[in-house]
Amino acid sequence: MAAEQPRRRTGRVVAVAGGKGGVGKSLVSLNIGITLGRLGYRTTIIDCDLGAPNVHTLLGVTRPGPGLGGYLNHEVETLAEVAIDVGAPNLRIIPGTARPGAANINAGQKLRLLRAIANLGGDVVIVDVGAGTAHNTVDLVTAADLKLVVMTPQLTSLQNAYSFLKACVQRSLRRLPDDSDSRAVLEDLLTGEGESRPVQRAVAILRDSHPALADAVVDVLARFGVMLVGNMTTSDHDRDVFTRMSNMISDYLMIPAPVVATLPLADAIRASVNKRTPIALADRPVEIVSAFRGLSRCILDADVKRLRVAGRAQAAERTLPIWVERDLPPAR
């Protein structure tokens, strides 16, 4: 069996999520990937919608090869071996897998995948994840530098997006302490039934009993790297809904979550899916292409080094969260 390839640091890892299916996650992933590639940045899209992948379909690729399933099943040893060129500059995709049981990868497969994503190399890796709050989905998002949360103005989408972010925050915080006693304390504080602001409550209580842990929690939340993308908008009222959502996330979960792009409900976008020709490749409509360029610029302008380094500790920059590094076996 071939040894793992030497580590090649990934410039920035961007997870595209939303909590609910059908909000346009794959469409956003693909169009920003194409845009970044055309701007000269080496970009890879990994279709991590385990069980229901469609990034390759949106590009008209009918034979995607072994894809992510081949890597997870050790048919190949590196993600690079299953990456395919798709005819767009500087862009590769790693197709997903619809093999039976694909959504139920075990802990070892997940940790191996997270390490491979962090060390894939290139300028940007986009991780397109599926719907729901399963631990595998949540962990793929929390391990990323930037978390793009795609939502529509519909109530169900807004609720699911908030629930997904809440799951991500609580999953990250529960794994933050190194010792079991502190973990138990934090677990108890985050579990309060009916508590509308469990994060604020936890931080307030920890300030008195575990001030260092309180500081660590606040630091992690400040560097969570969330960006909101509003999709299928039809009016200024819809855009206002996303602004209010941003404020609620900041208030209730204590994480900055700016709205970085809004995309219209447009016939051209729907047609691009049916034609398997992404908007970013067609260069029209201009206003939609411009929106994807602006979103791509927000990704490139993000201070990834600050997101990766704990603000209150003289620690080296990390490519993986501490909980991933702690659970992984030593690299060979």
pLDDT, tens digit (0-9, with 9 covering 90-100), for 22-46? 899 999 999 999 999 999 999 999 9
What are the structural domains, with CATH classification, of the chain? 12-327 (3.40.50.300)
Query: Per-residue pLDDT for 293 more than 80?
Result: yes
Dihedral sign (CA 115, 172, 176, 188): negative
Residues 153-186 pLDDT 10s: 999 999 999 999 999 999 999 888 888 888 888 8
The owner of tokens 């792009």 is 261
d(CA 184, CA 187): 5
Distance of alpha carbon 20 from its chain centroid, rounded? 14
Mean pLDDT for the stretch of residues 212-228: 94
Average pLDDT along the chain? 86
> Using 50, 70 and 90 to split pLDDT, how confident is the model at 71?
very high
> Using 50, 70 and 90 to split pLDDT, how confident is the model at 321?
low
> Using 50, 70 and 90 to split pLDDT, how confident is the model at 211?
very high
193 vs 249 pLDDT, higher one: 249
Strand order in the sheet with 124-129: 84-85, 91-94, 43-48, 124-129, 12-17, 146-151, 226-233, 259-264
Q: Which range (44-53, 177-186, 295-304, 311-320) has the least confidence?
A: 311-320
